[in-house]
Amino acid sequence: MADPASYRPQTGEIPVTPGVYRFRDAHGRVIYVGKAKNLRSRLNSYFANPAGLLPKTHAMVHAASSVEWTVVGSELESLQLEYTWIKEFKPRFNVVFRDDKTYPYLAVTMGEKLPRVQVMRGERRKGTRYFGPYTAGAIRETMDTLLRVFPVRSCSPGVLKRAQASGRPCLLGYIDKCSAPCVGRVTPEQHRALAEDFCSFMGGEAGKFIRRLEKDMAAAVAELDYERAARIRDDIAALRKVFERNAVVLSEDTDADVFALYDDDLEASVQVFHVRGGRVRGQRGWVVEKVEDVTTPELIEHLLQQVYGEDSDNQGRIPREVLVPEIPSNHHELLEWLGGLRGAKVDIRVPQRGDKAALMSTVRENAEHAMKLHKVRRAGDITVRSQALQELQEALELPVPLLRIECYDISHVQGTNVVASMVVVEDGLPKKADYRKFSITGAAASDDTAAMHDVLTRRFRHYLQDKSAQLPKSGEVPNPGSGEPSDDAALTGAKARFAYPPNLVVVDGGQPQVNAAARALAELGIDDVYVVGLAKRLEEVWLPDSDFPVILPRTSQGLYLLQRIRDEAHRFAITFHRQKRGKAMTVSALDGVPGLGEAKRKALVAHFGSLKKIKAATALELTAAKGIGPALAEAVVSHLAAAGAAGEAAPAVNMTTGEILEI
């Protein structure tokens, strides 16, 4: 633990202007990002009396080894830069609103020629319209119900291509839950109109469609077409079922997100109800730890930053109204920032009376219940994880706490397609963003010990390179308030995570694998990383150059932790090995063409339909495919001609990927 006085900047060096500051640890990793209207006042508060800080703030300033700052022109710029850096560096001590689950959205891919309705999670895609979030059960039922009224395509691209090639629709086409544009039952324009109607209904225009169907049903009855009238009646019932599933809580023209929170000295629970067209369309929740003595307005500011800044495609996702329990700090800057993201005015306000205030009260009750449930679950989880880490540290007689553990495993089949995996656990929890895969070739693939030595050498060589690239040179003051951002190119991208070393390396295997890993570290001059191995047969723990293993009790939480890490590394390695082995089993007749990558190969096969037609095409005809220029077309013709002259067989081509099975 560092002494904050050892890196405290001189008061006169710190400007009194607005800016954003960062604390770094001894390995150069950003561990906290903050902003201030007055940098000097804010930074001095960390060093004036460290003993009086909140527990987590106290841990942060003692974990850091340097602080740097960037001066900005306005509070709006500091708001944007702070969010950018939090998103980029993911500092462990920042208040980060991590959702306890990922919520599914009902998505319509309007950017495709034949739009598709599907359930999607994760990052948003350009050209796709999203509705939600929903709970998993509700969204499937909603989608299934609406497809009978708006039979939009919901099949995958592979199913669509097979149907187009065979001339027969899939099962959904036969049961009238798809209009089957793949076989020409409707034109692409008619299908897009269906998708537009689907989006309009989900966007809150349900009443218009129900009234239109009621008129159609009355017209069918007048014409004595009772069968069509019965079908329309069932469609109306389906739409009303979806429309009435959510209770009306506000007027029909209300689009708002209603936030409420419940907090104590250490944590805060936040809930939000998404109201669209006056109805609650979805709900989300977070529980976060406080770092500084943050006020409710500051907490709400961070919340809105992260909730609305997490995606670049915010049009239609940010509502006209954002209802909060208190006006956030930097209110005017937030309004300007959110308005820019939405492309229209956004109103942030506190409801005082009426239906909106009543709904805010309901949301707060949900936040309070979520906090209680979180504390009950977290108490048991933290106790078990702390016990496991402490038991492991004591059993291995290690002088440092096990804040970060990395585990390595080798996977192959009789020495072929040799790969390795690296999984990471921080504070007893997996950190999947830091997982890594390694391909092993040459002499290193000869046996498991050579492979383990190669993997550890490569991983820690990256660590040494990144460490030397990130740490300030001797006598250099990091970014001393010049107003220019410091150079963080070394910290961006996947490789930057190699710059943070583990306290413990776990290898899957016994003494030979452990000795190989220890030898790799010794050759690189690394002596502050400890190595152990977990052998499968008796689950004994091996140390380097030890004749006897460490035997942990079968009921030891430390042993359970090692087993979980080892099993996760094994799963990750096996998955990568199977992917690599699957690719090795397939080749393409178009492989080896200079400049022809996977995307262009797929474009060729999609355009011509088969390898036979590609071979028969001239260079000029090949340029009709997307991305194929005259030079590349000539290269394809020359390659296929040379292959034909050599007497190569022409095996069958996969119509989707352009890959063929090597016979």
Structural tokens at position 433? 């963003």
Query: Which residue's entry shows tokens 């942030």?
Result: 348
* pLDDT tens string 552-593: 887 788 888 888 888 898 999 898 888 887 776 666 667 677
Band (13; pLDDT cuts 50, 70, 90): confident
Query: Which residue's entry shows tokens 């329990």?
Result: 325
pLDDT at 315 over 50: no
* pLDDT tens string 150-175: 888 988 888 888 888 888 888 888 88
Structural tokens at position 526? 């690394």
* pLDDT tens string 216-231: 888 888 888 888 888 8
pLDDT at 198 over 80: yes
What does the alpha-carbon distance between residue 351 and residue 365 come to, in Å, rounded to a whole number? 16
Structural tokens at position 488? 């963080």
Per-residue pLDDT, 423: 92
Task: Name residues whose C-beta falls within 8 Å of residue 513's C-beta, 6 or more positions apart in sequence.
Answer: 448, 449, 452, 507, 533
Per-residue pLDDT, 96: 62
pLDDT at 649 over 60: no
What does the alpha-carbon distance between residue 33 and residue 95 come to, in Å, rounded to a whole number? 10
188-195 mean pLDDT:
90
Band (93; pLDDT cuts 50, 70, 90): confident
Per-residue pLDDT, 658: 42
Cβ atoms 338, 322 nearer than 8 A = yes
* More confident call, 136 vs 6: 6
Per-residue pLDDT, 493: 41
330-352 mean pLDDT:
87
Band (491; pLDDT cuts 50, 70, 90): very low
Band (494; pLDDT cuts 50, 70, 90): very low
* pLDDT tens string 255-287: 888 999 888 767 788 888 888 777 777 778 888
Per-residue pLDDT, 484: 39
Per-residue pLDDT, 125: 78
Structural tokens at position 572? 């990750």
Task: Name residues whose C-beta falls within 8 Å of residue 73's C-beta, 6 or more positions apart in sequence.
Answer: 18
524-542 mean pLDDT:
84
pLDDT at 546 over 90: no
What does the alpha-carbon distance between residue 91 and residue 57 come to, in Å, rounded to a whole number? 13
Query: What average pLDDT does the chain have?
Result: 78
The string of DSSP letters for 41-73 reads: HHHHHHHS-GGGS-HHHHHHHHHEEEEEEEE-S
What does the alpha-carbon distance between residue 341 and residue 335 come to, in Å, rounded to a whole number? 10
Band (83; pLDDT cuts 50, 70, 90): confident
Determine which of 33-42, 199-208, 321-330, 446-455 has the lowest per-residue pLDDT on average. 199-208
* pLDDT tens string 94-148: 766 655 455 577 888 988 889 998 888 766 678 888 876 665 556 777 777 778 7
Helix or strand run (H / E) with residue 271: strand 267-276
Helix axes 511-523, 448-470, angle to 10 degrees: 30
Structural tokens at position 108? 């319509």
Band (657; pLDDT cuts 50, 70, 90): very low
Per-residue pLDDT, 292: 62
CA-to-CA dists, residue 424 to 490, 577, 627, angstroms: 21, 19, 40
Determine which of 60-64, 404-408, 558-562, 580-584 has the lowest per-residue pLDDT on average. 580-584
Letter for the amino acid at 211?
A: R
627-639 mean pLDDT:
85
Per-residue pLDDT, 559: 86
Per-residue pLDDT, 4: 81
What does the alpha-carbon distance between residue 348 and residue 326 come to, in Å, rounded to a whole number? 10
Left if phi > 0, otherwise alpha if psi is -120 to 50, otherwise beta: which for 183? alpha
pLDDT > 70 fraction of the chain, expressed in percent and rounded: 81
538-547 mean pLDDT:
82
Task: Name residues whose C-beta falls within 8 Å of residue 425's C-beta, 6 or more positions apart in sequence.
Answer: 404, 405, 406, 407, 431, 561, 565
- Ordered by where they begin, the domains of the chain are 4-89 (3.40.1440.10), 256-371 (3.30.420), 397-481+495-583 (3.30.420.340), 586-661 (1.10.150.20)
CA-to-CA dists, residue 208 to 80, 122, 199, angstroms: 41, 32, 13
How many C-beta neighbours within 10 Å does residue 306 have?
19
The residues facing 348 across adjacent strands are 322
What does the alpha-carbon distance between residue 240 and residue 252 come to, in Å, rounded to a whole number? 15
Cβ atoms 5, 62 nearer than 8 A = no
Q: Which of 4, 39, 32 is nearest to 482 (CA)?
A: 39
Per-residue pLDDT, 100: 45
DSSP annotation of 428 reads T
Cβ atoms 568, 430 nearer than 8 A = yes
* pLDDT tens string 31-58: 888 888 888 888 888 887 777 777 677 7
Per-residue pLDDT, 499: 64
* HEC profile of 388-409: HHHHHHHHHCCCCCCCEEEEEE
pLDDT at 407 over 90: yes
What does the alpha-carbon distance between residue 644 and residue 367 come to, in Å, rounded to a whole number? 69
Letter for the amino acid at 116?
A: R
Q: Is 485 exposed, middle or buried (0-12, 13-18, 19+ CB in 10 A)?
A: middle
β-bridge pairing 404-413 and 416-426: antiparallel
pLDDT at 481 over 60: no
pLDDT at 305 over 90: no
pTM of the model: 0.49
